Structure 1
Amino acid sequence: MERFGEFVGVRREGFVAEVVLDRPKAMNAVSTGMAVAIAAACEAVGRSDARAVVLSSKHERAFCVGADLKERNSFSDEELLRQRPTARAAYTGVLDLPVPAIAAVGGFALGGGYELALACDVIVAGPGAVVGLPEVSVGVIPGGGGTQLLPRRVGAARAAELVFTGRRVEAAEAHRLGLVDVLAEDAREDALDLAQRIARNSPVGLRAAKRALRLGQGTDLRVGLEVEDAAWRAVAFSGDRKEGVAAFNEKRDPEWPGR
């Protein structure tokens, strides 16, 4: 496993990269050092030839419990303000991954921990998963994208209820409400399996499809269709498209050139 600081590692299996949160004594609470490591790991993975990413935890009871409030309790107002760009970089690092990203949530994903999952494209949850955005209970708001990503996932009214109450939601209800996408007996195993299935596809196509999906969100249909057309034009004359069509007609597996 390649290490990024003390608390984050990256495993590779073929074209799948697994970003592993590894601060078990703090249930993966995001300290300043861990935020730096998450951003660095995501940047490295984004530059690699990975076709899919899994964000997972080495801790059985927690995916991530959010910001390290013990560390923040020692901050002055000036220190908290200086830390803000570092914290944001961790969440935007996940959000800006150019390939499909899957969160494997087993255990608690609260506050910033759930926001890390929300920054992924798909959330796979184990039977013990508990998610929520409890920030208002400590006098702040979700600041890692939660107020923007959650409404896009479950709608404005549902997101408002969850943010305003700060309540924790267990796996079955979370799945019913759309807070997670897949229920699994083993979140990590299922997430890695999904990532491997995704990674069989064209790297050019995957990146363009993710870009179209992300950029089209929040626009009206006509603008979204223009975003889609631009993405189509970017891939239509690629080596991957030519190889994909040839492989289909020759009834063989494609060998993607990735360009």
Structure 2
Amino acid sequence: MKFIVLFSAMTCMAALSFAQTNTFPPNGAMGLGTLTPTTKLTIDAGGIRDGILIMGDAVGAYSDVQFKVKSTNGFATYTPVQWNISHRNDGFFSGTAGSSTLEFYSILQGTGYLAPLVFKNTGDVLLASPRNTIKSGNVGIGTVNTSLYKLAVEGTIGARKVVVTQASWADYVFEKDYRLPTMQELEQFISKHKHLPGVPSAEEIEQNGIDLGDMQKIHMEKIEELTLYMIALKKENELLKKKLEKIEQMLEGKQ
């Protein structure tokens, strides 16, 4: 009998001790692990590393986490959302009150591989693809092989304007000490190499691609060289024209 009474007392004390960390006050707020909930549901795990676990026992099914916004102007529901937050992963979702927006972000960090997921209602729904990646600060779209490029795109890029900055430009062609190749030198080089001096060959372009900034600089260099050739040709034509006029005058005087 004493054992039964002692056992019952210990059970009640344990239950009361556990209940002291949970509260269900009449104001609708719920606290698990805390007696002072500050939101509709406040969970304080203390020093325990585990958080919330949602499980389902149906074969082939998974548990859903639903985020609902009670508004006729905003999102009605986001379901299902497969979401994982732990000490190894970062993530958050945010909304802007009154503007009918909800942004959901997930960055899964593994062995140097980052896979961002972005869901927005700013006019588009952006779904991350396994072919899109951010790795070591480099961004890949349609590819995970970014190599040393800050942005690698597998496909066609459409843009209204592209700005490429250059440390130097080809105006050095107009300097007095610039050596302009002679027409004979230019002809010999083209005959031997099948491309203009200073311009990458077709083989180099196939292997390494085109640096837009450098190629624009090379194009400008050739345009400025052509301009100098044209100026020189114009001067030569003027001299020939004057010589021809003198010859015509001499022939007219003999008649």
Larger Rg belongs to: 2
What is the TM-score when the length of structure 1 is the normalising length? Answer: 0.21
User: Which structure has the higher relative contact order (CA within 8 Å, separation 6+)?
Assistant: 1
What is the TM-score when the length of structure 2 is the normalising length? Answer: 0.22
